Structure 1
């Protein structure tokens, strides 16, 4: 729990600070006086005032931060001081200052993705499992062992890349051209017709529902537990299981499921050992887990998934990072639009509990997964703040656009009504997000 909270605080806190630094930096460029830049909220613990009169503070609640600008000059202030007030700036400068926060979040995502592209990541190759009969993948002619080469003419580097591109199509449905290399090496182009998916959390993986799954190599015995049924039957470390009860064992997950469902029942396993095929008879030991009887062999099973190192030069890394940031932001906006239209489940709205959970999970997986997750949340934060909802940066931008059209700021009454409506929308969204969070947590 402590690790998860720490990962969450570092992720969200750094993103909010970067967001606020965008406002601060552009405000300083525009000549606006910044009164305080605070790391955290609440009571100030440490402070220092710089030569520009800005108070740099560390506050008691170390989650996020804020920038406080001088909105209006005090009565009787000198002209130079009055010129440094935010509300005294022309509308173009005010737009730039407000826009800077979300833009900095998007730029941070580009920088993080660029760094990952330069460093290189180990990812599974885009090799497909046999699609279930009747699924869109089966109807398109995709088959076991096909390796995805390109989607709609764009080269695919890995399973991660392929999954992202196909999910993007699946979010709204449509046709997509998939070029694959068969196990024989022959290249084929398939047309995949994907129906729209409501992306409901907790349901079946939408790609798996369409018949598109990553191929799992034959299970391998990673280790044999002392005194277990596997050791008694003669299983050895390194044995590759090719069949169970006469059926091909091509998926580690399916084999584990079969073993769990075979408590106390004799099984025949065909294994490859030092180039020879050996038959091993074994009876999974029955054990009670959560009130249910399951079978255990006393071995650790694994699989060697073919992997590829994905890395690029500086120019291509930057280009791909910018494209991924744009695609993710646009995907988020489309999903929001489909939620409003009722085409996508509102259960996709996540709150701080889910964000913290995934922050902890990705941090445990490794630094690459954690950085990629921070980039994703940075994009989400940028997109959210650009929504035209009063109380958010996008709401202020909406007021400034009205000011440009009218030639003067909106009436105070309009702004007051908008602020109350915006607050209501945000409270409702936060309530929905927390409800979804705790529903996932307890179910």
Structure 2
């Protein structure tokens, strides 16, 4: 729990502070006086004032930050000092300052995605299992061993990249062209015809529903128990199992099921060791389960041996892909919001801080690359959310400025106050829904 909370606090602190830095940088460029920039909320623990008069503070609650600007000129201010007030700036400057926070989040996401592309990540190769009968993949002619090389003309190297390119058509439907290399090395095209589906938070895996799944990994022996049947037969740590009994190229589950059928009876196992095939006859030891049924065990541990690829790009290509993925994520988020309004996507998909904290902890445990990918995704979400035309959000202020540009003068104060109340109500309802969904998932 402590690790999850720490991962969540770091994520939220970094992303919201970067958001506020966007406001700060553009405000300074526009000549606005920034009174305070705080990392965190609550009681100030450390403070320092720079030569521009800005107080830089570290506050007790490390869950974000804030920027306090000079909104209106102080009494008896000189003309130069009055010009430093936010409300004295032009409409274009005020709009730029407000938009800078969400844009900073989108730029951060693009940089994080670009960094992952440059450093490289190790991911499963996009090698497909046999498509279930009557599935959309089977109708498209997908065969076991097909390796996806491109989706609708977009080259992919890994299963993760293939899933990303398929995410939109899997949810909205349409025709998808898969370029694949067959098991025999021949280039082929498979055309998937997908239909739109209603998205529920506990719904099925859309890839599997369409008949697309990773090929079962070959089982590799990752440990041999002393005194077990496997050790007695000559099996070793690192052996790749290529056959058991009459089953050729079995998955880990098939190996276990087959061995369980032969308690105290010989069964043949073929492995690949140092590139050469070796056959052994193993007599599984009989064990009686809780249900009284005897099963065979050979005393070895199995590990999944997925074919892996390293996904890495050069500087220019990484930047392009980082920007493209950020733009795709923004567009996909907006489409999902639209589908929520039409009922095609369940409102139960709205997540709050509890779910986000859980994901922060999970990705941090997986590794740095997964955590950085999570940070990029949440950074996009913060940017998109803040650009929505809801009063009290940055997008709400930009909406006011758009009306000001049309009218040629600011909106009446009464309108602004009414908008603030409406915005506060909408945000309270959204947060209430998010917390309700969080606790429903937590206790269901």
Provide TM-score, normalisation by structure 2: 0.91
Alpha-carbon deviations, 1:300-344, whole Å to 9, x = none? 211221111221111111111110111111111111111111101
In structure 2, relative to structure 1, the CA distance for the partners of 1:164 and 1:282 (3 Å cut) is same
2:401 paired residue number: 400
In the alignment, is the contact (CA less than 8 A) between 2:145 and 2:215 conserved in 1? Answer: yes
1:266, 1:410 → 2: CA distance?
A: 86
Alpha-carbon deviations, 1:124-167, whole Å to 9, x = none? 11110111111111110001100011111121121111110011
2:210 paired residue number: 210
In the alignment, is the contact (CA less than 8 A) between 1:263 and 1:285 conserved in 2? Answer: no
Aligned pair partner of 1:276 in 275, 278, 284: 278
Alpha-carbon deviations, 1:189-230, whole Å to 9, x = none? 111111223332233211111111111222122113346676
In structure 2, relative to structure 1, the CA distance for the partners of 1:295 and 1:211 (3 Å cut) is farther
CA deviation after TM superposition for structure 1 residue 248, in Å: 4.9
Alpha-carbon deviations, 1:98-137, whole Å to 9, x = none? 1000111111111111111111221211110111111111
Instruction: Map residues 34-433 of structure 1 onto 2, 5 A cutoff.
Output: 34-226=34-226, 236-242=236-242, 246-248=246-248, 250-252=250-252, 258=257, 270-273=268-271, 274=273, 275-282=277-284, 285=287, 297=297, 298-433=299-434
In structure 2, relative to structure 1, the CA distance for the partners of 1:140 and 1:414 (3 Å cut) is same
CA deviation after TM superposition for structure 1 residue 238, in Å: 3.4
1:152, 1:432 → 2: CA distance?
A: 37
Structure 1 unpaired stretches of 5+: none
Alpha-carbon deviations, 1:238-266, whole Å to 9, x = none? 3444456745564335656x489x69978
Which is further off, 384-393 or 270-279?
A: 270-279
| Number of aligned residues | 439
2:28, 2:11 → 1: CA distance?
A: 26
In structure 2, relative to structure 1, the CA distance for the partners of 1:268 and 1:364 (3 Å cut) is farther
Alpha-carbon deviations, 1:67-89, whole Å to 9, x = none? 01111113332222211111111
2:310, 2:81 → 1: CA distance?
A: 56
Provide TM-score, normalisation by structure 1: 0.92
In structure 2, relative to structure 1, the CA distance for the partners of 1:405 and 1:231 (3 Å cut) is same
In the alignment, is the contact (CA less than 8 A) between 1:229 and 1:284 conserved in 2? Answer: no
In the alignment, is the contact (CA less than 8 A) between 2:243 and 2:270 conserved in 1? Answer: no
2:192, 2:243 → 1: CA distance?
A: 31
In structure 2, relative to structure 1, the CA distance for the partners of 1:270 and 1:414 (3 Å cut) is farther
In the alignment, is the contact (CA less than 8 A) between 2:126 and 2:162 conserved in 1? Answer: yes
Structure 2 unpaired stretches of 5+: none
In structure 2, relative to structure 1, the CA distance for the partners of 1:113 and 1:295 (3 Å cut) is farther
RMSD in angstroms over aligned alpha carbons? 2.6
SS in 2 for 1:357: helix
In structure 2, relative to structure 1, the CA distance for the partners of 1:318 and 1:215 (3 Å cut) is same
1:317, 1:400 → 2: CA distance?
A: 36
CA deviation after TM superposition for structure 1 residue 49, in Å: 1.3
